[in-house]
């Protein structure tokens, strides 16, 4: 495997590169690097491209951004000669990264619009899109406060808290299980998404669905911020989103607990009835419009029969 591809793949696996948006962009970059570094015939290129694709797909199973980046870069390649194919992949990868970065900025503006002046916001895990909306609201001059969960077991909340504090935002970190206790102080919940299914369910960091439940109970608006490449075309044809289960040692050392089993699913699904809106770069939509997004943007509808990978 090419060194620069392997380097990105291993960083995604070990979560040095994490968060669905970054995973998508890193995947596109790995495919660009492969095309740049490849030496050999056209036949070898196509064969090795399949291997690289499958390797990247094996790094993390839940974030559809990874699959959609591969689809955008590889399946839309054009050309008949080796040089044309390589150039097309490099161009598609650069396009994907550029569009992803632009989407982040646009969602930041739309999402900030949904945050009232004086609001106390709750966020979970570390979503670059959710943070973008919060930071934008703050830069727009809104007097906001943020509560953020530490996000066990990987503690992505530490990254969020530091980023918000660095920006000058009033941020309070709480343990995940304190969410319902504090919900009475919260005006709006803002989270990101790993994957959005065609029925509008949002798959995000484990614990998101519990937060949505507590928000629903307290009648606190629950907003999801996600680029359109977080929507999953495969779910239109009945595929279920695979929930990643990671090493239990992320929770505790099993050797310290003889006879105890551990489970470590790292994502969960929040049903659409608990979601007030999804903020995308195409606008703010109801979760029930997920199918339309998939149909419009990805050109895959009920008629899209086959698995794309």
User: Which segments are annotated as binding site for substrate?
Assistant: 18-21, 60, 204-205, 230
Give yes or no for a cis peptide into 149 (omega within 30° of 0).
Answer: no
Tell which one of 64, 266, 269, 290 touches ligand RUB (CB under 6 A). 266
* Token representation of residue 235: 């779910």
**Site mask, ligand RUB, residues 27-56, x = CB under 6 A?**
------------------------------
Quick check: 20 binds ligand RUB (CB under 6 A)? Answer: yes
Neighbour count for residue 175 (Cβ, 10 Å): 12
CB of 195 to ligand RUB, least distance (A): 9
Considering only residues 279-298, where is the footprint of ligand RUB by CB under 6 A?
none
- Contacting residue, 108, 111, 192, 233, with ligand RUB by CB under 6 A: 192
Q: Which stretch binds ligand RUB (CB under 6 A): 133-141, 180-188, 191-199, 250-258?
A: 191-199
Residue 245 contacts residue 169 (beta carbons within 8 Å): no
Residues 82-141 that bind ligand RUB (CB under 6 A): 125, 127-129
| Helix H or strand E encompassing 202 | strand 202-205
Q: Which residues form the catalytic set?
A: 125, 194
Contacts of 137 (CB under 8 A, 6+ apart): 111, 112, 115, 119, 144
Q: Which is nearer to ligand RUB, 20 or 300 (CB)?
A: 20
Nearer CB in complex with ligand RUB: 173/266: 266
- Could you tell me the smallest distance in angstroms from the CB atom of residue 148 to ligand RUB? 12
Give the binding-site size for ligand RUB (rule: CB under 6 A): 16
Residue in 5, 9, 18, 173 binding ligand RUB, rule: CB under 6 A? 18
Of positions 59, 149, 156, 280, contacts ligand RUB by CB under 6 A:
156
Q: Which of 59, 68, 198, 204 is the binder for ligand RUB (CB under 6 A)?
A: 204
**Torsion angle (degrees, nearest 10) of CA 261, 246, 208, 296:** -140
Options 19, 108, 111, 287; binder of ligand RUB; rule CB under 6 A:
19
Helix (H, G, I), strand (E, B) or coil at 124: coil
Nearer to ligand RUB, 82 or 213 (CB): 213
Of the candidates 66, 55, 93, 64, the one whose C-alpha atom is nearest the C-alpha of residue 77 is: 93
Task: Collapse the DSSP code of 145 into the 3-class scheme (helix H, G, I; strand E, B; otherwise coil) and give the result.
Answer: strand
Give the span between the Cα atoms of 202 and 217, in whole angstroms.
18
164-172 own/partner pairs: CB under 8 Å, 24+ apart: 164/131, 164/134, 164/135, 167/135, 167/138, 168/138, 169/134, 169/135, 169/138, 169/144, 169/145, 170/144, 170/145, 170/146, 171/145, 171/146, 171/147, 172/145, 172/146, 172/147, 172/148
Q: Note whether 149 binds ligand RUB by CB under 6 A.
A: no
**Which residues carry a binding-site annotation?**
18-21, 60, 204-205, 230
CB of 198 to ligand RUB, least distance (A): 19
The residues of the shown chain that bind ligand RUB, judged by CB under 6 A, are: 18-22, 125, 127-129, 156, 192-194, 204-205, 266
């Amino acid at each position: 495997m090419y060194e620069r591809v392997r380097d990105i793949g291993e960083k995604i696996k070990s979560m040095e590169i994490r968060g669905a948006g970054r995973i998508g962009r890193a995947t596109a970059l790995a495919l660009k690097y492969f095309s740049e570094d490849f030496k050999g015939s056209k036949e070898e290129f196509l064969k090795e491209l399949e291997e690289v694709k499958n390797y990247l797909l094996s790094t993390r199973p839940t974030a559809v951004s990874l699959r959609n980046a591969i689809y955008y870069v590889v399946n839309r390649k054009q050309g008949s000669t080796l040089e044309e194919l390589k150039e097309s992949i490099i161009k598609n990868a650069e396009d994907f990264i550029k569009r992803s970065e632009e989407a982040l900025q646009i969602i930041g503006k739309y999402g900030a619009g949904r945050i009232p002046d004086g609001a106390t916001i709750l966020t979970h895990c570390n979503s670059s899109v959710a943070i973008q909306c919060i930071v934008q609201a703050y830069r727009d001059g809104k007097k906001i406060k943020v509560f953020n969960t530490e996000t066990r077991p990987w503690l992505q909340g530490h990254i969020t808290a530091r980023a918000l504090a660095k920006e000058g935002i009033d941020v309070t970190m709480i343990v995940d299980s304190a969410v319902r206790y504090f919900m009475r102080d919260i005006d709006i919940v803002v989270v990101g998404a790993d994957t959005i299914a065609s029925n509008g369910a949002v798959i995000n960091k484990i614990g998101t669905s519990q937060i949505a439940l507590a928000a629903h109970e307290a009648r606190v608006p629950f907003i999801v911020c996600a680029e359109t490449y977080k929507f999953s075309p495969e779910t239109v044809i009945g595929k279920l989103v695979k929930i990643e289960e990671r090493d239990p040692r992320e929770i505790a050392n099993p050797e310290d607990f003889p006879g105890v089993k551990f489970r470590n699913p790292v994502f969960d699904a929040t049903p659409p009835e608990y979601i007030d809106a999804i903020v995308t770069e195409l606008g703010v939509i109801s979760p029930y419009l997920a199918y339309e997004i998939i149909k419009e943007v990805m050109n895959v509808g009920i008629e899209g029969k086959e698995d794309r990978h």
